[in-house]
Copies of this chain bind each other. A is one copy, B any other.
Amino acid sequence: MYKEFKICVIGLGYVGLPLAVSFSKHFSTIGFDINKKRINNLKKNIDTNNELYGFRKKKLLFTCLEEDIKNSNFYVVAVPTPVNKKNLPDLRNLIKASKLVGSVLKKNDFVVYESTVYPGLTEEVCIKILEKVSGLNVTKEKKIQDFYCGYSPERINPGDKINKLNNITKIVSANNFHARKIIHNVYKNITKRIHVAESIKIAESAKVIENAQRDINIAFINELSLIFNKLNINFKDILKAASTKWNFVNFTPGLVGGHCIGVDPFYLAHKSILAGYTPKVLLSGRKINDQMSIHFAKNFLEKIKKIIKNKKKYNILVLGLSFKENVKDIRNSKVFDSINYLKKKHNVKIYDPLVSKLDVPQEYHKMFSKLKERDFFDGVFISSPHAIFLKNLFLSKLEKCCRKKNVVFDLKHKLNMTRNKLNIISA
């Protein structure tokens, strides 16, 4: 029976596009997004996120027209769930998508959410909207089931070429046994292993703690970087030694930007605060990570000052603008906070071959370097260590741009090689 599903994926970003492409190999599939430019690109097989090179559309239709999705019967919602300026959940995309699905929902249809939410949100907010708009019911009793609902948290890791949708374990959950069975059957076409969670709330909670755990671990490492910088002990060597213990967990310092790790803990914190407990550890991690762009910039300047005295205005090159290495996405990238701090007193140039100048705000355009400078930079701040930056060819180029006395600040401890002409210092 389930082979007759007509799938519609709502939201075609990092999460939705791979889902739509994978589903389309087994089902008639529609990919819907409100962004016309995105749809036009996808129609030409262009993924500007660089995640799916030359993907193939098989039984896959891209659209931004609401009427096109009416005949679907299995909806997958994969819209972004960011936070607002107060770090509170911004549910507008999710509410909008739920209203859209509610408006086309028919009896026996399925709706599965993939967006990251706080525990309870799918049932307390999304399903409520679906019911209200559609006039149908979702319930745990089989008899009065009009439509079925599930939650399957996305585990997309932008820039990761190993852990992809088809080879990871995917969690699925649903609001009753029947729905769980069907959703499981549908999803097992597109992913290797499935973990069936006991409830939607369990699946929602699992997702949000995965990223919260990464956030707190990076925060811990970032704080250690601050401490050992104060104590003037080489942190990279410390981590190398500690990692020889059987249960040490390897993390490196870094700016936590992007759309997941820096955001999801706030979703959990929000729900926890509503329930009467203000998280201490969780929010201390968030706070440290949000301050690191300034901390790292300050440490970097201190390092330069130690090497290059009697100079007040340094020539600085920032390498990498995206929120993490090997992606081109600069949304929620924390490096701009570092740049803004550095450029107050210093001459800052920026370089990122992955990022399109058109995506960068106008105010930074005059800072773009082509690495044609000779014997010029006092300091290099490598925030997003793209694979290309680690290559010999690139480092030779970099050497030419740098002055004899220089500091190359390797924020994420990714530069392994020693180069005579570069003074590489780890955060």
A287 at the binding interface (Cβ < 8 Å): yes
A230 at the binding interface (Cβ < 8 Å): yes
A86 at the binding interface (Cβ < 8 Å): no
Q: Which of A243-251, A377-385, A402-410 is the contact stretch?
A: A243-251
Contacts of A171 in B (CB 8 A): 241, 244
Question: Interface size class for chain A?
Answer: 35 or more
Q: Which of A4-12, A61-69, A129-137, A211-219 is the contact stretch?
A: A211-219
- Give the docked Cα–Cα distance between A239 and B203 (Å): 10
Contacts of A276 in B (CB 8 A): 230
Contact (A230, B287) CB under 8 Å given A209-B238, A217-B217, A237-B197: no
- Give the docked Cα–Cα distance between A231 and B242 (Å): 36
Residue from the list B155, B193, B207, B280 in contact with A223, Cβ < 8 A: B280
Minimum CB–CB distance for A272 against chain B, Å: 5
A139 at the binding interface (Cβ < 8 Å): no
Contacts of A155 in B (CB 8 A): 245
State which residues 181-236 of A face B: CB under 8 Å: 193, 195, 197-199, 201-203, 205-207, 209-210, 212-214, 216-217, 219-220, 223-224, 226-228, 230-231, 233-234
A89 at the binding interface (Cβ < 8 Å): no
Is B268 within 8 A of A216, CB to CB? no
Q: Name which residue of chain B comes closest to A275, CB basis.
A: B230
Is A227 within 8 A of B285, CB to CB? no
A257 at the binding interface (Cβ < 8 Å): no
Is A230 within 8 A of B163, CB to CB? no
A340 at the binding interface (Cβ < 8 Å): no
Is A227 within 8 A of B275, CB to CB? yes
Minimum CB–CB distance for A205 against chain B, Å: 4
Is A245 within 8 A of B169, CB to CB? yes
Is A287 within 8 A of B277, CB to CB? no
Is B209 within 8 A of A281, CB to CB? no
- Give the docked Cα–Cα distance between A217 and B214 (Å): 10
Is B220 within 8 A of A213, CB to CB? yes
Q: Mark A269-305, 1 if CB is under 8 A from B, else 0.
A: 0011001110111101101100000000000000000
Minimum CB–CB distance for A80 against chain B, Å: 20
Is A201 within 8 A of B233, CB to CB? yes
Contacts of A220 in B (CB 8 A): 212-213, 216, 281-282
Residue from the list B228, B279, B281 in contact with A281, Cβ < 8 A: B281
Minimum CB–CB distance for A124 against chain B, Å: 11
A258 at the binding interface (Cβ < 8 Å): no
- Give the docked Cα–Cα distance between A317 and B238 (Å): 44
Contact (A210, B119) CB under 8 Å given A227-B279, A241-B197: no
A120 at the binding interface (Cβ < 8 Å): yes
Report 23 cross-chain contacts, Cβ distance below 8 Å, ordered by A residue.
A119-B231, A155-B245, A201-B231, A202-B233, A202-B238, A205-B228, A205-B231, A205-B241, A207-B242, A213-B217, A213-B249, A216-B217, A216-B281, A220-B282, A223-B279, A223-B281, A227-B277, A230-B275, A230-B276, A231-B275, A249-B249, A280-B287, A281-B285
